[in-house]
Amino acid sequence: MKLEFPIFQIINEEGQLTDEKYKERMTEDLVKKFYYNMVRIRTFDRKAISLQRQGRLGTYAPFEGQEASQVGSALALEKDDWVFPTYRDHGATLTFGANMARTYLYWNGRVEGCVPEEGKKIFPPAVPIATQLPHAAGAAMAEQRKGTKNAAIAYFGDGATSEGDFHEGLNFASVFQAPVIFFNQNNGFAISVPIEKQMNSKTVAQKAIAYDMPSIRVDGNDVFAVYFQTREGLDRARNGGGPTLIEAITWRYGAHTTADDPTKYRNQSDSDKIREAQDPLLRVECYMKRNNLWDEEWVAKMIGEVTSEIEQAIKEMEAFPKPNVNDLFDYVFEKPVWPITKQKEQYFQLNGRED
Amino acid sequence: MAISREKLAEVYDTKTHQLTLVQAITDGLSIMLKEDEKVLLLGEDIGKNGGVFRATDGLQEQFGEGRVIDTPLSEAGIIGTSIGMAINGFKPVAEMQFLGFIYPAYEQIMTHVSRIRMRTMGHYTVPMVIRAPYGAGIRAPEVHSDSVEALFTHMPGIKVVCPSSPYDAKGLLIAAIEDPDPVLFLESMRIYRSTRGEVPKEKYTVKIGKGRKLKDGDDVTLITWGAMVPVVMKAAQQAEKQGMKCDVIDLRTLYPIDKDIIAESIQRTGRAVIVHEAHETGGLGNDIVSIINDTSFLYMKSPIERVTGFDVPVPFFALEEHYLPTPQRVFKAIEKVMHF
């Protein structure tokens, strides 16, 4: 099966073009946009871990190493498309336009972090694994009924492919030819369980055969490969060609979450070797240098902008008004029901009102 | 040849018709499909086949495959895609073929349907209805007869309703579809076709959260819903013959329960018998005991009795009549609270 699903790549580990077909579309603007967004989300991610260590954020799920998969796929979307992420896809949602301060807020235990910017169709991160796949199929079926060209993308990891909802989501999208991209980031591990113990299948992509659905394996550390293949799937979806499964092969450098120690289940020095060989940012840097697009001044300025944006977002997150206890009770139903009203009153009788 | 009263009513009174409970559901669905183009039906065998109980009979033919959708055999898929449609502007009415088959979808309901409003502070909502035939007593194969309303009344963020008459079925269904929040709509298979009742042809709603008094009496309050209503009514009639006057409440909504109708009655009678076919432990009867405790403790003349299914899986049908509460068991409970 690995032979039937070769890994699609546009630039290799040294930043060399391996597929000339896309050369013309790889404009300087696009390359810089990729690099900027990957630097931005990596900085966001590292900052989140550091904030967690300082006790300024709760448990956090880092994505460092997966930037090409997240940026490439998110930049392929149009503004009216739907995004159904997991808790490890903030790189994708930030690239798509999620508010950064609110993204940090989510990891600070604040529900406000799930409220998207007006007009941005971003669903809150799915925590129960694979449950978002049928949602993406449903949102896409709704777009079909509205007669739009909008599509949906669902993000999920390799572990998610073992869940029933993975198959139910793919099957629905396939039966109804819904405009969905099922974007799998195969990072080799579901917390501690390696892919070999997750599935006997040699690839994730082959699972699409069962649904008669186009699928492809891409080098998930090659932002160009991810971007152009996601675009292709989206174009097909918008034109009635139904869903696509993309398996982006990538690697998570760090822990599953800040509450986990990866040295218990994998050799982190091997992980470091993968990082040295495959890093998605380094690869674009090499490509830029080879093609005389690397401009130290632009890079320095860009890094400065990213740093100050992130500092600003953290300030905003920390200055956010403290949580309102009314919110504990007021959003369960549109109109309150008596048991909740009674419990709310009892709470305030005991604790007093703050406002 | 005599013409039945029902037939006469149908001929002369064009404002109502005589329908079974399941026909009243079809009627309600049809009205809402006609009125609101955002309403969609999804489920297994609901299209061409009209549903295994014919609840959606003829609707696909009338409204098309785009709105009455035969889905794959996939409960989590049905609820999951309905969520996607609901957050994207539609009002899905999803059919679970039997409540006993809802379990694969439980995760979707518990982790998404019931909490999307809360976790997005109202940005995304799920105005959907999940219809599910429930209950034993029709000699169905195993697992088809579960009555697990308590799994859902325990779940914050979803309303649960359970009509016992054709009139209430249509009115509650329309109210559920119009409700801005998710509603689980339980349909008793045992009374789907057991009787007919007068149902207005036009659109109307029955308010969610309101019980209904079926019978007035000052000696004992009988509280029940759905398939147990006829059982309780039989017991009440028997009790009446022996001079024990029963106040019978059909709750109709299981979350949020109409506590006022319970309190008003209990404070007159001082005695209560609660009847449900679901298992006793963790059953909704316990919540009703709590409501009585909270609202009417000092009015009580005797301990509350519960007549319920046992703490055993709903059995194969050869034993189901022994599992289900019977008028005799209810009558015994009435006697017990009367003679305390």
* SS3 state of residue A156: strand
A252 is catalytic: yes
Chain A partners of B111 at a C-beta cutoff of 8 Å? 127-128, 131
In a mutational test of the A interface, the residue from B74, B81, B153 whose CB has the highest number of chain A CBs within 10 Å is B81
Range with the poorest average pLDDT among A55-64, A151-160, B11-20: B11-20
Q: How many CA atoms lie within 13 A of A80 on its CB side?
A: 9
> Is the per-residue pLDDT at B205 higher than 70?
yes
Q: How many CB pairs under 8 A join A and B?
A: 132
Return the structure tokens found at B184.
């689980």
Q: Are A223 and A71 in contact (CB under 8 A)?
A: yes
What value does the mean pLDDT take over residues A136-156? Answer: 98
**Amino acid identity for residue A336 in this structure:** P
Q: What pLDDT does residue B117 have?
A: 98
Return the structure tokens found at A306.
């990213």
> Is the per-residue pLDDT at B119 higher than 70?
yes
What value does the mean pLDDT take over residues A44-67? Answer: 97
* SS3 state of residue A78: coil
A55 touches chain B (CB under 8 A): no
Q: What is the pLDDT of residues A84-112, one digit of tens each?
A: 999 999 999 999 999 999 999 999 999 99
**Amino acid identity for residue A349 in this structure:** Q
Chain B partners of A143 at a C-beta cutoff of 8 Å? 88
**Amino acid identity for residue B232 in this structure:** V
- Measured in angstroms, the CA of B59 and the nearest CA of chain A are apart by 18
Q: What is the pLDDT of residues A186-196, one digit of tens each?
A: 999 999 999 99
User: Do the Cβ atoms of A172 and B125 come within 8 Å?
Assistant: no
Q: How many CB atoms lie within 10 A of CB B301?
A: 14
Q: Are A80 and A150 in contact (CB under 8 A)?
A: yes
Domain boundaries, chain B: 5-200, 212-338
Tell me how far CA of residue B123 lies from CA of A73, A97, A98, A120, B268, in angstroms: 25, 17, 14, 11, 45
B91 touches chain A (CB under 8 A): no
A327 touches chain B (CB under 8 A): yes
Residues 6+ apart with CB under 8 A from B133: B53, B96, B97, B98, B99, B186, B187, B188, B189, B192
Chain A partners of B74 at a C-beta cutoff of 8 Å? 168, 171-172
> Is the per-residue pLDDT at B7 higher than 70?
no
Q: What is the pLDDT of residues A197-233, one digit of tens each?
A: 999 999 999 999 999 999 999 999 999 999 999 999 9
Catalytic residue among B112, B144, B276, B279: B144
In a mutational test of the B interface, the residue from A83, A163, A168, A327 whose CB has the highest number of chain B CBs within 10 Å is A168
Rounded (5°) CA angle B207-B209-B212: 75
ipTM, two decimals, is 0.96
| Ordered DSSP codes for A142-154 | HHHHHT----EEE
The CATH topology of domain B212-338 is: Rossmann fold (3.40.50)
> Is the per-residue pLDDT at B13 higher than 80?
no
Q: What pLDDT does residue B14 have?
A: 80
Q: Which CATH architecture has domain A7-323?
A: 3-Layer(aba) Sandwich (3.40)
- Distance from chain centroid for Cα B73: 24
Q: What pLDDT does residue A302 have?
A: 97
Dist. CA A264–CA B165, nearest whole Å = 61
Q: What pLDDT does residue B2 have?
A: 59
Chain A partners of B89 at a C-beta cutoff of 8 Å? 142, 146
Q: What is the pLDDT of residues A255-277, one digit of tens each?
A: 999 999 999 999 888 888 988 89
Return the structure tokens found at A258.
């800040």
A352: left (phi over 0), alpha (psi -120 to 50) or beta: left
Beta-bridge partners for A190: A193
Q: How many CB atoms lie within 10 A of CB A289?
A: 11
Per CATH, B5-200 and B212-338 having the same topology is answered: yes
Based on the number of CB atoms within 10 Å of its own CB, is A287 exposed (0-12), middle (13-18) or buried (19 or more)? Answer: buried
* SS3 state of residue A126: strand
B279 is catalytic: no
Q: What pLDDT does residue B5 have?
A: 63
pTM of the model: 0.96
The CATH topology of domain B5-200 is: Rossmann fold (3.40.50)
A165 touches chain B (CB under 8 A): yes
> Is the per-residue pLDDT at A353 higher than 60?
yes
Residues of chain A with CATH 3.40.50.970: 7-323
Q: Are A70 and A28 in contact (CB under 8 A)?
A: no
* Residue B120 banded pLDDT, cuts 50, 70, 90: very high
> Is the per-residue pLDDT at A50 higher than 60?
yes
> Is the per-residue pLDDT at B11 higher than 90?
no
* SS3 state of residue B260: helix
Question: Among residues of chain A, what percentage have pLDDT more than 90?
Answer: 94
> Is the per-residue pLDDT at A297 higher than 70?
yes
> Is the per-residue pLDDT at B240 higher than 80?
yes
User: Do the Cβ atoms of A332 and B121 come within 8 Å?
Assistant: no
Question: Among residues of chain B, what percentage have pLDDT more than 70?
Answer: 96
Cβ under 8 Å to B: A residues 113-152? 114-116, 123-124, 127-128, 131, 133-143, 145-146, 152
Nearest CA in chain A to B126: A333
DSSP H helices, chain A, are 28-53, 67-75, 90-96, 100-107, 132-146, 164-175, 195-198, 223-238, 268-278, 280-290, 296-319, 326-330, 338-351
Residue reference for tokens 């999804």? B42
Q: What pLDDT does residue B210 have?
A: 98
What value does the mean pLDDT take over residues B28-38? Answer: 98
Q: What pLDDT does residue B8 have?
A: 60
A265 is catalytic: yes
- Distance from chain centroid for Cα B45: 22
Closest CA to B233 of B242, B222, B241, B244: B222
Q: Are B279 and B308 in contact (CB under 8 A)?
A: yes
> Is the per-residue pLDDT at A355 higher than 60?
no
What value does the mean pLDDT take over residues B263-280? Answer: 98
